[in-house]
Each structure stands twice: as structure tokens, then as C-alpha cells.
Structure 1
Amino acid sequence: MAETSFKRLNAVVTGGNKGIRFEICRQLASNGVLVVLTARDESRGLQALERLKNGDPSLADYIIFHQLDVADSCSISSLTNFVTTQFGKLDILVNNAGILVDIIDVDAIRAAAGVDKHQGLEVISGAYKLAEECLKANYYGPKQMMETFLPLLQQSDSPTIICCPCMHVLRHMSKAALNAYSRMIDAKKKKYPNLCINCVCPGYVKTDINANTGTSTAGEGAAGPVKLALLPDGGPSGRFFHQTEEGSF
């Protein structure tokens, strides 16, 4: 793909300091997109920026860093102001979701996870059906999911620490919430018909989150998100992709 085709595009990649997200930054920059690599930890983000530049000096003019914590409204506002001031617009947003660690702070889940307390954890198996329901009714959405799920977590003896098997519950719900938000935005984008808003699963990729037990590389996992990020105006939207192929919610 010719670099000049995307020379004027600007992108923000959340959590771009490692794994698949790191590769997404690299591949977008390789296609001539000006990438804002973001990370919660400034030192880790700057280290990732240097690794990208050292690995391929030609990317130096296409990648910059800005701190971002998606659970911090002040951090979000800071990034918004930066993008507005520097570029005047944002062409691409790669919004990542994924939680799987040994210890989790409940407060950090507020922007990502949820479950219907009336259906209990059974909602996980119907997470994608939930996305459809969110589109059909305005009374319930990912924010409400998160708000009703948190009290369940906080009922434990140690509310700030959640260990397996809850790890997988939190990880799945963070992804379900993000998918639901994506589909809701797509359904309400009438004023912006050229927007493409899609969800993508990168597959089982070798990263730290699974102790590098995956079956594909981070570069291969990034191929799907990058392909969708570079869709032309008016391309497919409101879809779910598995790697680079369209799948089903």
C-alpha cells in the first residue's frame, strides 16, 4: 500500500506500549499514518516509542507518544486537547480491551466491565446478544452493565483484589462492553455516514497476557485491526471480524 495514500491520516492507539497494540502502531506507521501511541505509564510508553524508532528509523516521523489512562477523565481530556490542537481531527481510533492479570483493582474496571445482576454471570455467554439488545432499547447499555456488576465484586471479603476464575469473567465482560459500545455508536452515526466502526478479534496471539502460549505472532494479530483501520470512507461498519475475515457476533 502506497505510503502517500495515508500520509495525512492521524491515529490514536490505546495501550500501544506492548503486544498486539505495539504492532498495530508499527504497522499503521509503516503505512504512512501518523500514530499517537498511548499508555497509562509514561515511562513505558516512551520506551515503546524508542523501540519502534530504533527498530525502523523510517518510522520516526510517524509515531509520537501521549499519556492516556482510559479510566481517568482528566487524562482523556488532555489527549483530546492534544489531538485537537495538533491535528484538528482524528481519523482512526484503535480502542483496545483486555484484562487478565493476577491482581485487579476494582476501580480500574469502572470504564470497562459490567454484568446484569438479574441474570448473574450467565450474561457472559450471551454477551453478543446483549449488544443487539442495547441497540433495540435505550434503557440499558454497557454503562449500566458496569454499574450493576461492580457491587457484586465489592461484596467479597477483599473487594480490591479479585483472583481466578474471576479473571476470565472480567476479561470477557470488558470486551463485551466495548463491543456493545461500538455497535451502539454505529447504530447512531447517521450524522457521520462515512465512519467505519467495527470490532475485531486478533485470534490467539503470543503475548504476555497468555504467557506467550498463543499460536500466532503479535504481527499477525495486528493485521486485522490495521486492515479495518485503513478501510476507505463508507466501508463496512457495525461488523465483527476474526483476524482479517468477517465473522458473526
Structure 2
Amino acid sequence: MEGGSSCRRVALVTGANRGIGLEVCRQLASSGATVVLTARDEKRGATAVDALRELGLSDVVFCQLDVGEPSSAARLADFVMDTFGRLDILVNNAGVSGVRMDVGDPAALHQVRTSMSAAERLEWFNQRTAEPFEEAEECLRTNYHGTKNVTEALLPLLLSSSDARVVNVSSSYGLLRYFSGEELKHELDDIDNLSAERLDELSGLFLKDFKNGRLDHRGWPVGGFSAYKVSKALINAYTRILAKKHTSMRLNCLDPGYVKTDINFHTGVLTVEEGARGPVMLSLMPKEGPTGSYFNGTEQAAFM
């Protein structure tokens, strides 16, 4: 690899073969970082690396990663250890929507993209989504457990850095305002008494209540994208727990905004360049910057 990595920051981005993840890789590599681009599909990941190299960004390498498989995260950690010996920046971007969508006529998508407000677009999607249990299960496995698996596998390498950053791509859908249960809201906001083990338990409780049609029972989010909302709320809480435990690192989460990506059939209002600004800013922030915080784009915001 050209330039060596001893003086360059080493960054790793999950779910990076397209969309926001790929653009975060481009911007970090352009800023002088050595970038490990990861993706579940080996062919797509290698193609993405080739595309970045064609832009003159030679310090980008690919490593296959399925965030839902702990053994895959362990292999990734071995690769980073053997190649670089440390990790300075981790951007957990990989995620799924937790729903099945039927958008119907492609011509309708053009109308959505050109004539509806952001709120109207979200409502349009809500009306065309179904939430089978299998999708909800995959959503928690990928968005919450997958992010946690990858972070914990890479934690020793991050702690080997003198100035590490962890950026968890979340969503405004993960804010606690979407929970109707006051007890749940309080528990997820009570970081002094919350543990990662309890978050695992809450993930299981949600899936149990979801399967039994009892989301109202504990006050889980309803009204569409329930599993997605819970997965992101758990990631927000996990970010805060880790930040409290590892004070030498900067760990934050953010909503990149409603970005035009495959997950929403490119009906978002922001470009991927705009959507990547927040993750890149948090990846490169000064050492005295915030930690355990939530950002809406590039602005700090509340978890509620």
C-alpha cells in the first residue's frame, strides 16, 4: 500500500460498497486516511474499492464483512490487526430497514421524488410497507447486534489508538419520543444504570412482544418501522454506555439526514455527499470534542 499507514489515520467503514458508506470512505480517504472498506458482498466491495482508486485514492483496501455474523467480525479484527496493528476510526454504517416495501409502478417513484415534501414521502413509504417478523428479527440482528459485534471485535484495536473515534450511524427514528412507554423511555435514558447486557435483553423482549402482537404492552414504537426505531434507539443507548466506559475515545451517534440511497429508492432530499458530512465530521473532530452525544447531521441534538 502506498504511503504506509504508520502516520496516516486508519479508518474502517461498514456497509460501504454504496450510498453513504461509500461516500464516507471517499471523503475520509480524500482527507488523508487509510480506509478499510467493508461490505457483505465481496464482488461489490471490490468494485467499490476500484472506483475509489480510479479517483486517485490508492490507500483504500477491501475486507469482506457480514455484520450479522460474529465470526465475520472476528476475521475482520484479525485482518486489521495483521495489516495495521491499530484502528483510529470506526464508522458503523451498515443497516437494514426492517420492512418489506412494495412501491408499485416505477413512475410513481418519479412523482414522489419530484413533487412531495420529505414528510409526505415518509408517509407514502409508510403506506407501502409491511413488517413481517423475519424482517424485524433481521433488523435487530443487523442494526443493533451487528453494530455491537463489530465494535466489540474492534475495540482492542481502537484502544491501541491514541485518539480513536467511533461513529454509529443512527436515525431520528431512534429518538425516545417514538416510545409511548414511560418506563422504557426512562430506562433507555438512564445511562448511569443501563448496561449492554440489558440492551440485549430489551432487544429480545421487543422481538417477543412483536411476534405476539403486543407492542403496546410495554410501549414500544408503533405506526411503521417499529423494529428499525427500536434498533436505532438501542444503538443510541449503546453508544452512550461505551462513551461512559471508554473516556479516552470519542464515541457518538448521528442521523445523517434523509439521504437519497437505495434503502429509500433514492427519494431522500439530501445527496450522499451531504449525508456523509456528519459521519466524516465526527470521525475527524478534535480530541476535546464531544462524546456520548447524538447529532442531527452536523448539529448536536437531544436523544429525546
TM range (shorter): 0.7 to 0.9
Residue 87 (str. 1) matches residue 84 (str. 2)? yes
Residue 208 (str. 1) matches residue 208 (str. 2)? no
Q: Name 1:219's counterpart in structure 2.
A: 273
Q: Could you tell me the TM-score, scaled by structure 1's length? A: 0.80
Residue 238 (str. 1) matches residue 292 (str. 2)? yes
Offset at 1:194? 3.0
Match of 1:182 among 239, 244, 262: 239
Q: Name 1:33's counterpart in structure 2.
A: 33
Residue 67 (str. 1) matches residue 64 (str. 2)? yes
Distance 2:191 2:11 in 1: 28
Contact 1:99 1:174 in 2 (8 A): no
Q: Cα 1:127–1:207, aligned 2, differ >3 Å: closer, same or farther?
A: farther
Q: What amino acid is the match of 1:152?
A: D
Contact 1:113 1:149 in 2 (8 A): no
Offset at 1:98? 3.6
Offset at 1:153? 4.1
Q: Name 1:112's counterpart in structure 2.
A: 143
Offset at 1:166? 7.8
Q: Cα 1:107–1:203, aligned 2, differ >3 Å: closer, same or farther?
A: closer
Match of 1:147 among 204, 208, 217: 204
Matched residue of 1:237: which SS?
Answer: coil
Instruction: State the identity %.
Output: 41
Q: RMSD of aligned C-alpha atoms?
A: 3.0
Deviations 1:95-145 (A, max 9, x none): 12542242727356335359xxxxxx735x998754322432449632111
Offset at 1:245? 1.4
Distance 1:170 1:212 in 2: 22
Q: What amino acid is the match of 2:237?
A: A
Q: Cα 1:176–1:152, aligned 2, differ >3 Å: closer, same or farther?
A: same
Matched residue of 2:63: which SS?
Answer: strand
Distance 1:172 1:202 in 2: 15
Residue 133 (str. 1) matches residue 190 (str. 2)? yes
Q: What amino acid is the match of 1:133?
A: D
Matched residue of 1:170: which SS?
Answer: helix
Contact 1:98 1:171 in 2 (8 A): no
Distance 2:91 2:192 in 1: 22
Q: What amino acid is the match of 1:25?
A: C
Offset at 1:92? 0.5
My pick for the range that moved more, 93-102 or 9-18, is: 93-102
Distance 1:128 1:222 in 2: 29
| Structure 1 unaligned regions, length at least 5 | 115-120, 157-164
Contact 2:187 2:194 in 1 (8 A): no
Distance 1:240 1:213 in 2: 24
Q: Name 1:20's counterpart in structure 2.
A: 20
Distance 1:139 1:244 in 2: 27
Contact 1:113 1:145 in 2 (8 A): no
Distance 1:128 1:22 in 2: 34
Contact 2:195 2:241 in 1 (8 A): no
Offset at 1:186? 0.6
Deviations 1:18-76 (A, max 9, x none): 1111110100000011111111111121122122222x1x202x211101111111101
| Structure 2 unaligned regions, length at least 5 | 101-131, 146-178, 214-221
Offset at 1:224? 0.7
Q: What amino acid is the match of 1:11?
A: A
